[in-house]
C-alpha cells in the first residue's frame, strides 16, 4: 500500500473515528446516504474527489469549515492524534492545514492531498474525476480501492458515475 493511499484512507476512516468520538460520537465516514436521501439530494451533499472519496466527510475539510475557533482547534488536535495512531506520523497542529477539497482550484489544499498521485493525474488530464478517464480503473486507482475498503464508498461512487456516462 502506498503512502498516498494510507493518508486518504486515514482522512476518511481514521480521523473521522477519532474526531467523531471527541465531538459527541458522530462519525461521518463513507457514503453520505445514511439518512436514506434520494440520489439527487445525496449528490448535492457530496463533493466527490478525483478518487471518489467524499470530501464533505473528511475531518480536515470539516475542521476547515468549523466557525468556532475552540471547536476547530479541538478537531485539529484530534486529527494530529489520529495521524500518529493510524499512520505513525508525527504532525504538529500547524501542519493540519485548511483544505477546500481536492478539486478546489486555487483554494487551500491539505499537504497530503497535494502529494496525491491520483489527484495529480486526474487534474493534469482535466477530468472531473477518475470515472471520466478512458483508463478507468487504472492500476493506481485499483491499489487505492484495495487499501481504502468498501467503507469509504469511493469505488462505488466512481462505478456509478462511470455507468451513467
Tell me: pLDDT of 160 over 70. Answer: yes
Kindly report, residue by residue over 76-110, the tens digit of the pLDDT.
999 999 888 877 889 999 888 899 998 887 789 88
Structural domain includes residue 68: yes
Task: Give the count of domains, the chain.
Answer: 1
User: Who wins on pLDDT, 162 or 23?
Assistant: 162
Kindly report, residue by residue over 105-157, the tens digit of the pLDDT.
778 988 888 888 999 999 999 999 999 999 999 999 999 888 876 667 899 99
Provide φ and ψ at 139, rounded to 5°.
Answer: -60, -40
Structural domain includes residue 165: no
Structural domain includes residue 24: yes
Tell me: pLDDT of 56 over 80. Answer: yes
Mean pLDDT value of segment 32-47: 45
Spatial separation of the C-alpha atoms in residues 53 and 13, rounded to whole Å: 11
Structural domain includes residue 10: yes
Structural domain includes residue 156: yes
The pTM is what? Answer: 0.68
Structural domain includes residue 47: yes
Task: Count Cβ atoms below 10 Å from residue 146 Cβ, excluding itself.
Answer: 11
Count H helices and E strands in the chain, helices first: 9, 0
Residue 64 · residue 44 · CB < 8 Å: no
156, with CB counted inside 10 A (0-12, 13-18, 19+), is middle
Structural domain includes residue 50: yes
Task: Count Cβ atoms below 10 Å from residue 147 Cβ, excluding itself.
Answer: 15
Structural domain includes residue 138: yes
Amino acid at each position: 500500500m502506498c503512502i498516498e493511499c494510507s493518508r486518504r484512507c486515514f482522512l476518511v476512516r481514521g480521523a473521522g473515528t477519532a474526531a467523531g468520538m471527541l465531538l459527541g460520537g458522530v462519525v461521518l465516514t463513507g457514503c453520505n446516504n445514511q439518512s436514506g436521501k434520494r440520489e439527487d439530494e445525496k449528490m448535492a451533499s457530496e463533493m466527490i474527489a478525483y478518487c471518489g472519496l467524499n470530501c464533505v466527510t473528511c475531518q480536515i475539510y470539516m475542521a476547515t469549515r468549523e466557525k468556532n475557533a475552540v471547536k476547530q482547534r479541538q478537531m485539529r488536535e484530534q486529527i494530529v492524534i489520529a495521524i500518529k495512531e493510524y499512520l505513525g506520523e508525527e504532525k504538529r497542529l500547524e501542519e493540519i492545514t485548511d483544505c477546500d477539497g481536492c478539486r478546489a482550484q486555487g483554494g487551500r489544499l491539505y499537504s497530503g492531498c497535494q502529494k496525491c498521485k491520483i489527484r495529480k493525474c486526474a487534474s493534469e488530464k482535466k477530468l472531473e474525476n477518475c470515472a471520466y478517464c478512458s483508463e478507468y480503473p487504472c492500476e493506481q486507482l485499483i491499489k487505492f480501492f484495495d487499501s481504502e475498503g468498501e467503507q469509504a464508498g469511493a469505488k462505488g461512487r466512481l462505478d456509478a458515475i462511470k455507468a451513467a456516462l
